[in-house]
A and B are shown apart, each in its own frame.
Chain A
Amino acid sequence: MSRDDETPDNLPAAPGTHPEPVVVDSRQGMFGVSDGGDTSGYGGLVAPVLFPGAAVRPYGGYYDEVADQLERALAGGSAAYSQAVERVVVDRGEMTVFVAREHVVTVARALRDDPALRFEMCTGVSGVHYPHEVGRELHAVYHLLSITNGGRRIRLEVTCPDDDRHIPSIVEVYPANDWHERETWDMFGIEFDGHPALTRILMPDDWPGHPQRKDYPLGGIPVEYKGATVPPPDQRRKYT
């Protein structure tokens, strides 16, 4: 604590003592003006979009225990903790474990089967598309729940590049993920290898494209009302 008192507030924290945010995108200008008519003086502003970075021990709560136990459970298996886990993020009281995609099944199995972890329920996977995170554009985010250990929750996040959209399926570990993985394939085009029947689930079978991707337009037509025209939602001004 005494060191903290001496450190002025306006200096960056020493490396390794504080989560380093991750840049996923950058934002330009303000007030959503992009057609050159910006007279606000903020048109040249460039601000990075920073997501919470790797957490530093101690994580707090039960998260240290979960991380230690996962390390023990993975020891001696096909992938050590250091290989399988890319980073751990603790943000807003929630733990996200970034897992290398080739080891996601091993990690999921350890989380389910280890008596001290026992995340017996997977409440689904959801996709997120970050088009500006080159090499890791598509994220699959799994939410796990341990009823045995009093409702503990953690999140696994697996990424894959857009030009190689493959992530191993964890349906063999969590059968509940069957439809959820189908939905994520349907909406984002992530192919879950080893899934028993990866077909579209919400969109029609012959639908081209994957609607929840950021490069897929929302669609819509301009609506005329009392002489004025309201553009479709994805063409309206976007405040950044």
Chain B
Amino acid sequence: MTEQTHDIHATPVADAKDAEGAHVYNAVGDDWDAIVDEASALREERIVVNMGPQHPSTHGVLRLILELDGETVTEARAGIGYLHTGIEKNMEFRNWTQGVQFCTRMDYVAPLFNETVYCLAVEKLLGITDQIPERASIIRVLMMELNRVASHLVTLASGGMEMGATTIMTIGFRERERILAIFEMITGLRMNHAYVRPGGVAQDLPPGAIDKIRDAIPLIRRGIGELERLLNENPLIKGRMVGVGYLDLTGCMALGITGPMLRSTGLPHDLRKSDPYCGYESYEFDVPVRDTCDSYGRMRVRIDEMYESLKIVEQAADKLQNTPGPVMVEDKKIAWPAQLSLGADGIGNSLDHIREIMSTSMESLIHHFKLVTEGFHVPPGQTYVAIESPRGELGVHLVSDGGTRPYRAHFRDPSFNNLQAVAAICEGGQLGDVIVAVASIDPVLGGVDR
């Protein structure tokens, strides 16, 4: 690495010379009044404020660098990278199936989308897209749509909290809890599920899962209704959100913005409709749009989308009752050798399978061992697969060199791309509006930094 030290920077960095003459205020645990006095003594209205990376309203570890003239934001820049964990690099050192465990941790509010897009890409590289059992695709849709509702609930809840509306926060998280309970029942975990696997899903729904979902849907719908009554015509919410964070269609196109932000400009672009995957073409749902281009419109789009997602969940639950069958591809060279089983003490190894490999069939043991330690080979080539995550186009660029590990996995996370809009939607506004505007982007820093 030493010979590369000459190109640490592609462009010259700001050094002490650039900052010469600037006055530095330090607000680490000090008395705020002292800073205000100091600032007013200098009679300088223009200050640069570092908001974050540990600010509660930055949705994680986002650092906003704001240049303020009084209360007006004249320049806004986003600094990211504080949550970079090298997920893409790590995936190059694990087999294709293990990759799911890594990518599910990127956008931790919508983990099932990360898993699904990765698995769709692996399946495309393997050329087994049409061999995925229908039941597996329906389960994927069901889980993704529940996850979309949970994700939008977090957005609305934390967005409300940042504006001081704690009731919205408690209702949002209360409803999300119902969905997480369903996830826990089906996958064993509330997040980081690693439930969707190349070839299908890790295991079928446990008995009673469909009933639990059917019981939860009316409750969630009622909870969203409560949120709507608190949000939609609330004069305080409207006063904070209407006209704030404005970005029109031209801006969205230039900045590559997708998801609810794009749909709040009136363009009904949704990959579930324009480029269906997992059988989305067979579900009845609408793509909600608004034409206000502002934070309020984005909030309304998200609320409407939750109702549409619940409609899809209901249809998926109906389909599941008429679609028996495996949830993993038939090809035993790809399918994980064992399904987990649900015992009295929780989800664990299938005892039937262990009995087979340990005492009945040596070939099964060899097969199990080869597939679990070595994994499967994926023919060389590359693919780009994109799905509609709650935040927009979640894409994965996957390259295989024919080996048992991804040669390169790159995720185009919508939060990463959409955060580029911070300057466009914050500059010229008030400092207080920055929080509302950034919340309306709905960035999840785990996805941004990967």
Contacts and interface: CB of A to CB of B under 8 A. Distances in A.
A9 interface: no
Contacts of A106: none
Contacts of B84: 202-203
B254 interface: yes
Contact of B4 (A52, A174, A180, A210): A210
A218 to B, nearest CB: 6
B240 interface: no
Interface residues of A, number: 64
Please tell me the size bucket of the interface on B. Answer: 35 or more
B381 to A, nearest CB: 5
Nearest to A126: B410
Nearest to A51: B380
Contacts of B412: 123-124, 126, 143, 180
B209 to A, nearest CB: 33
B256 A124 contact: yes
A226 B156 CA distance: 47
Contact of A94 (B80, B93, B384): B384
A4 interface: no
A203 to B, nearest CB: 7
Contacts of A3: none
B353 interface: no
A220 to B, nearest CB: 9
A216 B1 contact: yes
Contacts of B11: 197-199
Nearest to A52: B381
Given A91-B381, A239-B403, A178 B1 contact: no
A91 to B, nearest CB: 5
Contacts of A199: 9-11, 13
Contacts of A96: 382
B436 interface: no
Contacts of B419: 179
B89 A204 contact: no
B417 A180 contact: yes
B405 A238 contact: yes
A176 B382 CA distance: 23
Given A180-B417, A208-B4, A150 B381 contact: no
14 contacts: A25-B401, A52-B380, A94-B384, A123-B395, A126-B397, A151-B271, A151-B275, A175-B255, A176-B255, A176-B256, A177-B256, A205-B8, A218-B92, A233-B93
